[in-house]
Structure formats: structure tokens, C-alpha cells
Amino acid sequence: MIESRDQLRQWLNHSVRVEITDGRVLIGTFTCTDNDANIILGQCDEYLPPGYPKDPRKLGLAMVPGRHILKLEIMEHKEEEIL
């Protein structure tokens, strides 16, 4: 449990890419989480699945329910390389 908390602390204020169950991708700054794995992203942009406009929508501060998260990854590259 302690190792998990340490890992989450290391992710704070880092850019993350989150894939959710409806096909959207959210990219933002990992701000916090809770016991239910809900996360808060700051400066969040939303990218829609293929077939929709490619331009991101600015969300700002966004709460992502943990039950809808398929994949979460720390970004080390520019957004264009990740998408």
C-alpha cells in the first residue's frame, strides 16, 4: 500500500494520457485521486474517437470516474506523438 501511495505522489503534477470507456482520450495534469480511483486532471483537453473532429476540446479541470478509466499513462513526449 505504501509503494502505491509513493507511486501516485510521483505522478502528481505530471502530464497524463487517460483512455476512457467511451473511446475518448483525456490529456491533462494529474492533480489528485481518491480511494475509488477517481482522478482529477487540470488543464485537461479532450480528444474524441476516430471519425469525429480531430481538434481537442478544452475542458480545464475535469473529474474522471475510476470505473471509466481503461488506461492511464504518464506522458514523456509531445501530445502529437502520443495520439
Answer CATH for 2-76 from 3.40.190.80, 2.30.30.100, 1.10.3720.10, 1.10.10.10? 2.30.30.100
pLDDT for position 32: 93
Ordered per-residue pLDDT tens for the chain, 83 residues: 668 778 888 889 999 999 999 999 999 999 999 989 999 999 999 999 988 888 999 999 999 999 999 999 999 755 544 45
pLDDT of res. 79: 52
Domain map of the chain by residue range? 2-76
pTM of the full predicted structure?
A: 0.83
Distance CA 21, CA 77 (A): 23
pLDDT for res 9: 84
